[in-house]
Structure formats: structure tokens, C-alpha cells
């Protein structure tokens, strides 16, 4: 019998983080969440920051717990985070300032300023990446225009997972999948987009060396081992962008023969497919589809959709008002009680982009502005959000199929949203496609699988996905009420297309 090996995955999301211990027996992997924590940004003097030192503290707490749970037997650690955000390192190796949140106001209006120097189409073809105001590019460019002294003294830029790897090992290295979220990286040639950076006066020399997913970064620093009780163990770069690890963990059967798409459902929803080369077409550019780095030589052709962010923000406001915790089961129960197809929103409308005191007021405002029935109760608001998200998936799916020139036959819904039975079923209903939901911990699974590949315990991503299938309980959903959803979709398109 193969000896069980223990690997530790840290998954930092935009609203919370977790440490997941994976026990691999040679055929299946058993996962256990051993630590979780909130990721709360802080507004200081008008700037929205991430509290990275608190997050690093939570990382060390999680590592210490893993040491105890595993009996001191750990074989590797890997970290993935949300995309885009970064910190700057000085010449003497110090973090110059807390990383700024991607939703901070400093990026507002920066796209137009960048495009006045480099046309948007040129930026797309230079980087293959999505054009989003929250991208690293526009935050860095705001620092260029403001003549930020921080940028002047910076020796290196590191994205969030790269920062954590640096804190753990002392190695200042960038990872491929997270670099591709920046809109400053030439994905086709796998180098930083030097010409783009030059035209925008962004210092090329602060861009880090890039390694591929599945690379051993280095070993834990002695002081980390001493503080946490951990043995010396390798710190491995999985797909350091959480979506990259999530897609690596999609339980796809290699012999299914079906064209599949993924929806990684969390604060953001990311819809796309796995491809062997970046897709750089006029159609992709026009429809807002773009590319991000994947694993094993692949790319993810995808589109970001505002995901559970809106209902998460509504829930937070309702909890504050009620003075109690409200479960997701309760919110889904509320949604199921409201009349169907009464009101819709466009999750990607700018009205929902910024953090506000009560997001449900923005839902009401959108419906007023679009002359719809006003959702007044929590039941109606919850239903409008979930139905609209499922219908937005169909909009994005049809755009995806148009770019690919072929039909998608199956959707894998992964991430935290896959536990939401209403959203999973309504996604099947809205798209008219079968949906396989789960596992919820796909990101942690993908992270762990890439660690196993890096250490030689698994040989390929194909083998890794078979391990995930053997280890997971998956839920299957077939489309229902297709005529009702088709009629709703025709109305919905008029709002968002």
C-alpha cells in the first residue's frame, strides 16, 4: 500500500481564504479544510488596501495547524490567489506599501488614458488579455501619471501569490498564470510586453522572472519552520491564479469526447474553455473574450462575469441590519419563494462594481432605470440576482460559441457556487445544457494536483483529473422548463446585449 503523502494548499479569494490539507494515497485524494479566515480590505486616507501582513499571519497559522493535523508530515505547500493585485519590493527586499485593492478608485479613468497612448485593440493583440479597468496595467499606469514615489524606489513588482512565496522562501519569482492577468504580459511569446510598457513609461526592469505552474520556488525559510513547527518543505507554484488552479481541478474525463466549458463560480464567475494557443481574433476582441495562462502548455479562453459578489454584498447588508448570520441555504430558500422571471439585472453593469452600504438598493435602482417591476422584498431581490446570473451565463456562452465556431455540449460548474443547487439548476435551464456541478473545492484540488505533479507523485494533468474524479462527489443537472427560460432569455437580451 502506497504511503499517504500530505500537501497543503492555500487558496486566497477576494473575500476569504482557506488552508486545505490534501492526503494522497496514490489513487485518491482526501481534502480537509483546516483553517479559514476573512479577507477584509481596509480604507485608509481614501485608498482601499489589502491587509497583506494579516493575510500572511493567517497563512502561518494555517501552516502551523497543518503541521499538527498531519503529525508533522508535510510534503509541499502551494499558494493561489485572486488575480491582478500586486506589491512593490524595494532594493533591500522590503515591501514598500500595502497592496492596493483592484476596486480602488485610482484605476478609474485610466483605461481611457492608456488608450490615448496605445489603442485598445493593440493592447489586446500585444497581451491576449481581457480589458478590465481593474487590471494591473491601469493601476500601475495611475502610479506613472501621478509620479508615485513608490514606483520610483521599486526594485520589483510581485503579484499577491508571488509576494507570499517571497515571504515564505526569500525567492523573488513571478508565476505565469498570475502574470497573464496583468494585461502587461505577452502570452503568445511568454515574455513581459516590453513594447507596451515602453509606450506607457512603465519600468520594464521591475517585472519579475516568470516560472511555469508546477515549479518548485524554494524551501521554507528557517524562521518560518521555527515559528510554525513545520519541517523544511518545498514551496511549489501551482497555477498561482486561483482560476488557473480551478480549471486544472475540473473533473473532466479525458475520454468523454464532448466539447466542455467551465464556469468557475465565486465572487467572480469566469466562463471559458481550455485551448492550446491564445485565441487572438477580431471576434474575440469585440465580444470581450480573452486569454489567460493555463497549465501543461494550455491557455484559458475566457470572460469574467460579475459573480456572487452582488448577492454576497446584499447578504452582508442584511446581516448587519438583522444582527445575525444569514446562511446561503436561507437566501436560496428566499429566492425559491419569489415569483419567477419578474425582474432582471445585468451583473456587469457599472452600478454593481463598487462597494456600497446596501447593494440591494442598487438592484432596485437598476430595475427602476430599466422600467421593470421593482423587487422590494429579499425574496424578490435574491431571485432576480440568481436568475440574472444564470441568464448572463447564456449570453456569455453564445458569445463563446461564436468565437470558437462550434457548440459547447457540457458545462462544468466549479467553485463555491457549485454548492448552490438553485444556481446550478438554473444554469442548466438557462443554457439548455447539462451541468456537472462540483467539486466546490476545485481550486484547492487543482492546487494540490499541481504540487503532486511537481514532486513526481503524478505524471500529468490528465492523470490528476482522473484522481479528482475518483475522489469527488459530483452533482448532475439536466435542463428543465426550457420554454419558460427561452422566453425569459429573449427579454433579458434586450437589457444586456
Per-residue pLDDT of 308-359, as tens digits, reads 999 999 999 999 999 999 999 999 999 999 999 999 999 999 999 877 889 9
Residue of 11, 80, 104, 242 marked active site = 242
Beta-carbon count within 10 A of 321 CB: 10
Among 54-58, 253-257, 376-380, 412-416, where is mean pLDDT lowest? 253-257
d(CA 351, CA 421): 27
d(CA 416, CA 266): 6
pLDDT confidence band for 268 (50 / 70 / 90): confident
d(CA 93, CA 11): 25
pLDDT confidence band for 15 (50 / 70 / 90): confident
- For 250, the grid coordinates are 475540473
- DSSP-derived letter for residue 187 is T
Per-residue pLDDT of 197-215, as tens digits, reads 999 999 999 999 999 999 9
Question: If we measure between CA atoms, which residue out of 326, 403, 405 comes closest to residue 360?
Answer: 326
Contacts of residue 109, defined as CB under 8 A and 6 or more positions apart, other chains included, come to: none
Strands (E), 162-232: 174-175, 185-186, 191-192, 210-211, 215-219
Residue range 97-113: average pLDDT? 97
Check: CB of residue 175 under 8 Å from CB of residue 218: no
Tell whether the model's pLDDT for residue 416 goes beyond 90. no
- For 76, the grid coordinates are 509541499
Cβ neighbourhood burial of 213 (10 Å; 0-12, 13-18, 19+): buried
Tell whether the model's pLDDT for residue 435 goes beyond 90. yes
Residue range 264-287: average pLDDT? 93
Residue range 40-45: average pLDDT? 96
pLDDT confidence band for 253 (50 / 70 / 90): confident
Ranges in the chain annotated CATH 3.30.420.40: 5-237, 248-438+474-497
At the second CATH level, the architecture of 5-237 is: 2-Layer Sandwich (3.30)
Question: If we measure between CA atoms, which residue out of 385, 387, 388 comes closest to residue 317?
Answer: 385
pLDDT confidence band for 255 (50 / 70 / 90): confident
Residue located via cell numbers 522572472: 209
Tell whether the model's pLDDT for residue 254 goes beyond 80. no
What is this structure's pTM?
A: 0.90
d(CA 240, CA 76): 15
Which pLDDT does position 2 carry in this prediction?
65
Check: CB of residue 163 under 8 Å from CB of residue 95: yes
- Residue 306 three-state SS: strand
Phi, psi of 30 (to 5 degrees): -105, 130
Which pLDDT does position 1 carry in this prediction?
46
Among 264-268, 431-435, 485-489, where is mean pLDDT lowest? 264-268
- Residue 169 three-state SS: helix
Cβ neighbourhood burial of 372 (10 Å; 0-12, 13-18, 19+): middle
- For 17, the grid coordinates are 481564504
Check: CB of residue 461 under 8 Å from CB of residue 296: yes
Residue range 182-209: average pLDDT? 98
Per-residue pLDDT of 139-154, as tens digits, reads 999 999 999 999 999 9
Which pLDDT does position 50 carry in this prediction?
98
Active site residue 242: yes
Residue range 171-185: average pLDDT? 98
- For 100, the grid coordinates are 492596493
Among 93-97, 182-186, 364-368, 493-497, where is mean pLDDT lowest? 493-497
Q: Domain 248-438+474-497: what homologous superfamily? A: ATPase, nucleotide binding domain (3.30.420.40)
- For 126, the grid coordinates are 500585444
Residue-averaged pLDDT of the chain: 96
Contacts of residue 262, defined as CB under 8 A and 6 or more positions apart, other chains included, come to: 246, 247, 250, 270, 271, 272, 273, 274, 411, 412, 413, 414
Check: CB of residue 158 under 8 Å from CB of residue 87: yes
Residue range 105-123: average pLDDT? 97
Check: CB of residue 233 under 8 Å from CB of residue 77: yes
Instruction: Report the phi/psi class of residue 183: left, alpha or beta, with left for phi > 0 and alpha for psi in -120 to 50.
Output: left
Check: CB of residue 70 under 8 Å from CB of residue 21: yes
| Alpha-carbon torsion (421, 424, 426, 428), positive or negative | negative
d(CA 431, CA 45): 45
Which pLDDT does position 377 carry in this prediction?
98
Cβ neighbourhood burial of 152 (10 Å; 0-12, 13-18, 19+): exposed
Over the range 105-130, which residues count as b (16 or more CB within 10 Å of their CB) and which as e?
ebbeebbeebeeeeeeeebbebbbbb
Which pLDDT does position 387 carry in this prediction?
99
Amino acid at each position: 500500500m502506497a504511503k499517504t503523502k500530505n500537501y497543503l494548499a492555500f487558496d486566497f479569494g477576494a473575500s476569504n481564504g482557506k488552508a486545505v490539507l490534501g492526503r494522497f494515497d496514490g489513487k485518491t485524494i482526501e481534502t480537509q479544510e483546516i483553517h479559514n479566515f476573512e479577507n477584509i480590505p481596509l480604507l485608509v486616507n481614501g485608498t482601499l488596501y489589502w491587509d497583506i501582513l494579516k493575510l500572511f499571519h493567517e497563512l502561518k497559522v494555517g501552516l502551523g495547524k497543518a503541521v499538527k493535523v498531519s503529525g508533522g508530515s508535510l510534503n509541499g505547500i502551494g499558494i493561489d490567489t485572486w488575480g491582478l493585485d500586486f506589491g512593490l519590493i524595494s532594493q533591500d527586499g522590503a515591501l514598500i506599501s500595502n497592496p492596493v485593492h483592484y476596486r480602488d478608485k485610482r484605476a478609474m479613468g485610466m483605461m481611457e488614458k492608456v488608450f490615448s497612448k496605445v489603442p485598445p485593440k493593440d493592447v489586446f493583440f500585444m497581451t491576449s488579455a481581457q480589458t478590465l479597468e481593474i487590471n494591473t496595467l491601469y493601476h500601475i499606469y495611475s502610479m506613472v501619471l501621478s509620479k508615485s514615489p513608490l514606483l520610483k524606489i521599486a526594485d520589483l513588482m510581485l503579484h499577491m501569490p508571488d509576494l507570499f512565496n517571497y515571504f515564505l522562501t526569500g525567492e523573488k519569482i513571478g508565476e505565469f498564470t498570475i502574470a497573464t492577468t496583468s494585461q502587461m504580459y505577452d502570452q503568445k511569446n511568454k515574455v513581459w510586453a516590453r513594447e507596451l510598457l515602453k509606450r506607457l513609461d512603465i519600468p520594464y526592469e521591475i517585472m519579475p522572472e516568470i516560472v511555469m505552474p508546477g515549479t518548485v520556488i524554494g524551501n521554507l525559510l528557517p524562521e518560518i519552520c521555527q515559528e510554525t513547527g513545520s519541517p523544511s518543505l518545498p514551496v511549489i507554484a501551482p497555477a498561482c491564479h486561483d482560476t488557473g488552479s480551478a480549471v486544472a481541478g475540473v473533473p473532466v474525463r479525458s475520454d468523454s469526447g464532448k466539447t466542455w466549458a467551465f464556469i468557475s463560480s465565486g465572487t467572480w464567475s469566469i466562463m471559458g474553455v481550455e485551448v492550446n494557443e491564445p485565441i487572438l481574433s477580431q471576434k474575440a476582441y469585440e465580444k470581450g473574450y480573452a486569454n489567460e495562462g493555463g497549465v501543461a502548455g494550455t491557455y484559458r479562453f475566457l470572460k469574467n462575469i460579475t459573480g456572487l459578489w452582488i448577492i454576497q454584498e446584499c447578504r452582508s447588508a442584511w446581516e448587519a441590519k438583522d444582527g445575525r448570520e444569514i446562511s446561503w441555504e436561507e437566501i436560496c430558500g428566499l429566492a425559491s419563494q419569489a415569483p419567477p422571471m419578474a425582474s432582471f439585472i445585468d451583473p456587469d453593469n457599472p452600478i454593481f462594481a463598487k462597494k456600497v452600504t446596501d447593494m440591494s438598493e442598487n438592484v432596485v435602482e437598476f430595475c427602476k432605470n430599466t422600467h421593470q417591476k421593482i423587487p422590494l422584498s429579499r425574496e424578490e431581490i435574491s431571485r432576480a440576482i440568481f436568475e440574472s446570473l444564470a441568464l448572463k451565463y447564456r449570453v456569455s456562452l453564445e458569445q463563446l460559441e461564436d468565437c470558437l465556431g462550434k457548440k459547447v455540449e457540457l458545462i462544468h460548474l466549479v467553485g463555491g457556487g457549485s454548492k448552490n443547487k438553485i444556481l446550478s439548476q438554473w444554469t442548466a435551464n438557462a443554457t439548455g445544457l447539462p451541468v456537472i456541478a462540483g467539486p466546490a473545492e476545485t481550486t484547492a484540488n487543482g492546487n494540490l494536483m499541481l504540487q503532486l505533479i511537481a514532486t513526481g507523485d503524478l505524471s500529468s494533468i490528465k492523470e490528476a483529473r482522473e484522481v479528482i474524479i475518483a475522489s469527488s462527489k459530483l452533482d448532475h443537472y439536466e435542463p428543465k422548463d426550457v420554454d419558460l427560460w427561452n422566453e425569459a432569455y429573449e427579454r433579458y437580451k434586450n437589457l444586456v446585449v
